[in-house]
A = this chain, B = another copy of it.
Amino acid sequence: MKVYTEYLKFHTRKHRDYIHITPQVEGIVKKSGVKEGMVLVSAMHITAGIYVNDNESGLIEDIDKWLEGLAPFKRDYKHHETGEDNGDSHLKALLIHHEVIVPITAGRLDFGMWQRIFYAEFDGQREKRVIVKVMGE
């Protein structure tokens, strides 16, 4: 059994951003030598998420607007009594979820035709990390 780990780093220019990371994850799976197994891709922050969906710019705008509608920026979150102003970033991260686990078959991500992995930043403009851990044989 093999376990192989790498970390991706992000520092977005925008407060919210959606970054396509399938090529990086594929590269890590290749380096791992795992032919059959799974890869965990997990944000190491509480204001960022990982999701799988389409790499289409219009849809990404829709997702961003939808998240803002369901988990809006507001002044009056209780969390802000700590001095923070990112209550909405936490809720957006909970909605989109912070990790995915992707199957590996014959050394490749076993995805459908349109599935792509995204890093979703909800409180950017600073250093963030994602762990990619491959497990299998």
Interface residues of A (CB under 8 A from B): 1, 3, 5, 36-38, 40, 42-46, 51-54, 56-59, 61-63, 66, 70-71, 77-82, 87, 90-91, 93-103, 105, 110-112, 114-115, 129, 131, 133, 135-137
Contacts and interface: CB of A to CB of B under 8 A. Distances in A.
Contacts of A61: 78
Q: Tell me the number of copies of this protein.
A: 3
Given A1-B136, A58-B82, A62-B87, 10 more contacts: A3-B37, A40-B101, A42-B103, A46-B115, A58-B78, A62-B79, A62-B91, A99-B100, A135-B135, A135-B136
Contacts of A97: 97
B62 A82 contact: no
Contacts of A110: 5, 44, 131, 133
Given A36-B3, A78-B61, A91 B66 contact: yes
A46 B100 CA distance: 14
Given A44-B112, A114-B45, A103 B58 contact: no
Contact of A103 (B66, B78, B133, B136): B133
A3 B136 contact: yes
A118 B91 CA distance: 14
B38 A135 contact: yes
